[in-house]
Amino acid sequence: MNKQSIYGLTIEQLTEWFLENGQKKFRAQQVWEWLYKKRVKSFSEMSNINKQCIQLLEEQFEMHTLQLEIKQESKDGTVKFLFKLPDGNLIETVLMRQKYGLSVCVTTQVGCNIGCSFCASGILRKNRDLTSGEIVEQIMNVQLHLDEVGKDERVSHVVVMGIGEPFDNFTNLVTFLKNINSPKGLAIGARHITVSTSGLAPKIYEFADLDLQVNLAISLHAPNNELRTQIMKINRAYPLEKLMPAIDYYLEKTNRRITFEYILLNDVNDHKEEALQLAKLLQNKRHLAYVNLIPYNPVSEHIQYKRSEKESILEFYDTLKKNGINCVVRQEHGTDIDAACGQLRSKQLKKAK
Ligand code: SAH
Ligand code: SF4
């Protein structure tokens, strides 16, 4: 049996583990510090921890369950990591240089069951959920890469927008969020973390109730049920009349701004009519709504979709603006290295066939 990744434990769980194993409580704090602040690569480097305790840790836990397969660097500073999991599955993680800091995009599942018709990750069904440790380790690996580069840079932002539907792996997602946010750990501010969901309405209520201060993004992609079901079949289970009340609940409970993601697909959802419908749909929450217009990254398996023309993108943007909706056209990163969600992985899997 594979040992569990130590990064999957919260500080409370680690403390409990130490107490159960006859160790002092403060050991947990010390180990936590070695993991996240000093960022050592093996238990044996934890020099203020006694030998017996290190042995116990080594017997029970693993520090590296992810193995780096490929690292690609783009001209714009984007770095894409492809990792192999102990069971041979591949996942990807992307580091992006933004004006405001260094942002990492993490994966939460091997594949995705939601099966959106435009997405590279949804082509293969979900193989399994990632453990919380496997999600945290993605950030740790990127931080260790930065440590090695030696410019004293820190991962400052995290977006949960890689492969998978985070709300379909809710418990592990929440442990991950708590760990990277922990002031004694990497201390990545909750306001610098964004979780994106395809709209699993019941989980939006649950997320709101957690009171985490983490940002929420909703992959909307269409302003009416007919079109949304055509693009994202999850809309059958959670149509707009279920999704929008969940969003209203979230807004009321948290008073936090929500980002709505909208991929622009040529001649599918990018007409002026859809922009007007979208503006209407968001009108009553426009003070807390922000629309992210995403130029589609073509996926070779989905030839029916093309990126919208520049003029359509601008017209869509203008129409939203004129109707009082805050929006932005998303800037792209690493297009020369397959940086869109699931693309490097899908290429590798095809090569392996
Ligand atoms: N499953 C979650 C999070 C991962 S996808 C979700 O769907 O929200 C993160 C974002 O990338 C989503 O908004 C998704 O629609 C978008 N995306 C997926 N494939 C894309 C592509 N080929 N081009 C541009 N954006 C894409
Ligand atoms: Fe899954 Fe998100 Fe891709 Fe849809 S867009 S298939 S929910 S990863």
Contacts of 322 (CB under 8 A, 6+ apart): none
Position 345 confidence tier, pLDDT thresholds 50, 70, 90? low
pLDDT of residue 248: 98
| Segment 191-235, tens digit of pLDDT | 999 999 999 999 999 999 998 999 999 999 999 999 999 999 999
Q: Are 32 and 136 in contact (CB under 8 A)?
A: no
Specify the pTM.
0.94
Nearest residue to 27 (alpha-carbon basis) of 38, 36, 37, 16: 16
pLDDT of residue 121: 72
State yes or no: 169 annotated in a binding site.
no
State yes or no: 127 annotated in a binding site.
no
Average pLDDT over every residue of 245-271: 97
Position 336 confidence tier, pLDDT thresholds 50, 70, 90? low
| Segment 126-176, tens digit of pLDDT | 889 999 999 999 999 999 999 999 999 999 999 999 999 999 999 999 999
Q: Which helix (H) or strand (E) holds 158?
A: strand 157-160
User: Which tokens in the block code for residue 55?
Assistant: 């042995």
Q: What is the DSSP string of 232-267?
A: -THHHHS-HHHHHHHHHHHHHHH---EEEEEEEBTT
Radius of gyration of the chain (CA): 21
> 294: left (phi > 0), else alpha (psi -120 to 50), else beta?
beta
pLDDT of residue 80 exceeding 60: yes
Give residues (CB < 6 A) around ligand 1.
Answer: 118-120, 161, 165, 196-198, 219, 261, 263, 294, 296-297, 299, 340-341
Tell me, what DSSP letter sits at residue 125? Answer: P
Report the mean per-residue pLDDT for the chain.
92
Position 327 confidence tier, pLDDT thresholds 50, 70, 90? very high
- Whether 197 lines ligand 2, by a CB cut-off of 6 Å, is no
User: Which tokens in the block code for residue 175?
Assistant: 């442990």
CA distance 230 to 126: 21
